[in-house]
Structure 1
Amino acid sequence: MRQKSILGLFIGLITIDFIYQAKSVPRSNQKIVATDYAVAAGGPATNAAVAFSYWNRAKLTGVIGSHSLRNLIVADLETYQVIIEDLNPTQLEPPPVSSIIVTETTGERAVVSINAVKTQVTRDRIPEDILQGVDIVLIDGHQMAVGSAIAQQAKANHIPVVIDGGSWKPGFETVLPFVDYAVCSANFHPPGCKNTTEVFAYLTDIGIPHIAITQGENPIQYHVNGKYNSIAVPEVKAVDTLGAGDIFHGAFCHYILQASFPDALAAAARIAASSCEFFGTRRWMQQ
């Protein structure tokens, strides 16, 4: 049953994803026929918001605009009762589109996409009541000016801030001082960092109290209270790995409001692993 009093705010990239399942990725100048397909709203913050909505209420803040592709995004998000805060509803530019091919036998995905580089907005677009009723904030770094401003507000209001550190993006340094939980991938490399040891040191020096680095099917490494440890990731037969990290972050935001940092990481890992057993980014919610 949903705990409808809990509200999460998710800030960042909103795309439309066209997802195909196929026996293989096409070679140059080859046409292939997909064995399955799905259309869904996408992006790290978007998929995390949808995952969070499985248990709670979620608000997604980013840019969709007025292009006709908006209808596909809005219809999908409304299905999962995600509240949309469009920061530039009159934008004529189409929202970012991602084309994804998932290999049938391995669950690995190939992605062609564009990020939010053409849909950036400034902090003056943020509604004054953006944090009203919010219990947790997640920032994926694709709307950095907005994310930085909201992170500062959240910190001042004692609302926990999580970052999805999928990769380093310029401007993250303006967000990190206000972060409570840095949940990063192995591809997150701040300036001067070449390995996980250096990443942990960088984030610890900033003062972030809870840090985790995911490594796909390998154990999650984390640092809390001055100690390092790791958590095993459940083994599954992967059908589709698309969005697993995003789903992990959405689940983490749910569990961290009721459990310790290690327990929330472990619970989120179970949800993310389970999602890989289903094609697309939504079907795991229908089991």
Structure 2
Amino acid sequence: MKRGLFVGLLTLDLIYQTEYLPARNQKMVASDYAVAAGGPATNAAVAFCYLGNAAMVLAAVGVHPITHLILADLQQCGVTVADLSPDCTEPPPVSSILVTEATGERAVVSINAVKTQVTADCIPADCLQGVDIVLIDGHQMEVARAIARQAKSHNIPVVIDGGSWKPGFETVLSLADYAICSANFCPPGCYHEAEVMEYLLNLGITHIAVTRGEQPIHYWNHTQRGELEVPQVKAVDTLGAGDIFHGAFCHAILQQQFVEALEVAARVAAHSCQFFGTRRWMEEDRVDV
């Protein structure tokens, strides 16, 4: 069993499946709903744990009553939490998500970690002890930077979830071993994928991938550039697919080479898209990794 530390955002996700997005001033009844802990690092940790590993999320949680729902869900998933703000009484971030039935596309409203930023001195002692891999989603940048430095000094690989650009990311990216980014990840001054890749390569990152939904993944492996097809499925819900991709990649990269790990992650993420919400995909037959 491998152990992963997942640093970043922890939310409560309220997920509704609807026929279409509501119009202005319209009320509608959802056809299905789910409530789960969420956030990029958190969903990645759940996937990593589901695939047979031990996962810990390092995030700001606090003691607001809502946190009981978050912690209960993660406990059921086998994921532990290291709290960066154990005395905070403010409510944790809550995301409201609408998933369109016909396409599986999602619309998300969230406050993310803007109001729950903490400093590096809040990091619990020994949270890297026994850790085999670290994933950072950029939502707690000062903490992420400190963890990445510690991981680097202990030869623990660091994976970056580059869902979108966040101020200060450059200081963490320079410490990364793997950057797995979405097509929406645009550092300052970068407007095209080629510019993004050049930016990341100039930071010294040797393993880079850009996921593009159902389109092929573009990757750079040292000096090798390639394209990887992803499984084509009928998407019921794309929510969390990128996060699940990252969790599966963390699992696979500890056993396989870069391109093979991307293939595993793509299979797991595609499988998850066939189910509503971020948990039901784990209730079915285990996906082949």
Classify the TM-score, shorter chain. over 0.9
Write the distance in 2 (CA, Å) between the matches of 1:249 and 1:110: 20
Correspondence for 1:240? 237
Deviation at 1:225, TM superposition (A): 2.2
Q: How does 1:1-287 map to 2 (within 5 A)?
A: 5-54=1-50, 55-287=52-284
- Aligned partner of residue 165 in structure 2, secondary structure: coil
2:96 is paired with a residue whose SS is strand
SS at match of 1:175: helix
Matches of 1:207 and 1:50 in 2, distance apart? 29
Give the match for residue 287 of structure 2.
none
TM (norm. structure 1) is 0.98
User: How many angstroms apart in 2 are the aligned matches of 1:63 and 1:81?
Assistant: 19
Cα deviation 1:73-115 (Å, max 9, x = unaligned): 0000000110110110111110000011111111111111111
Deviates further, 9-18 or 20-29: 20-29
How large is the Cα RMSD of the aligned pairs?
Answer: 0.7
Render the CA deviation track for 1:160-185: whole Å, top value 9, x for unaligned.
Answer: 00000000100111101110000000
SS in 2 for 1:178: coil
Deviation at 1:279, TM superposition (A): 0.2
Q: Within 1, Cα distance between the matches of 2:103 and 2:198?
A: 35
Question: Secondary structure, in 3 states, of the residue corresponding to 1:116?
Answer: coil
Counterpart CA distance in 2 for 1:271 and 1:262 is 15
Q: C-alpha deviations, 1:40-74, integer Å up to 9, x for none?
A: 00000000000101121000000111111001000
| Number of aligned positions between the proteins | 283
Once the two structures are superposed, residues 101-141 of structure 1 have per-residue CA deviations (whole angstroms, 9 ceiling, x without a partner) of 11111111111111101101000011220110000000000
Find the residue that maps to 1:90 and give its secondary structure.
Answer: coil
Q: Which runs of 4 or more aligned residues in structure 1 lie more than 2 Å from their structure 2 counterparts after TM superposition?
A: none
Distance 1:104 1:185 in 2: 23
- Normalised by the length of structure 2, the TM-score is 0.97
Counterpart AA for 2:268: I
**Percent of pairs identical after alignment?**
66
Other structure's SS at 2:244 match: helix
Give the residue type in structure 1 aligned to 2:31: T
Question: Partner of 1:85: helix, strand, or coil?
Answer: strand
Q: Which stretch of structure 1 is more off in the superposition, 156-165 or 20-29? A: 20-29
The 10-residue stretch of structure 1 (140-149 or 83-92) with the greater mean CA deviation from structure 2: 83-92
> 2:234 corresponds to which letter in structure 1?
K
Gaps of 5+ in 1: none
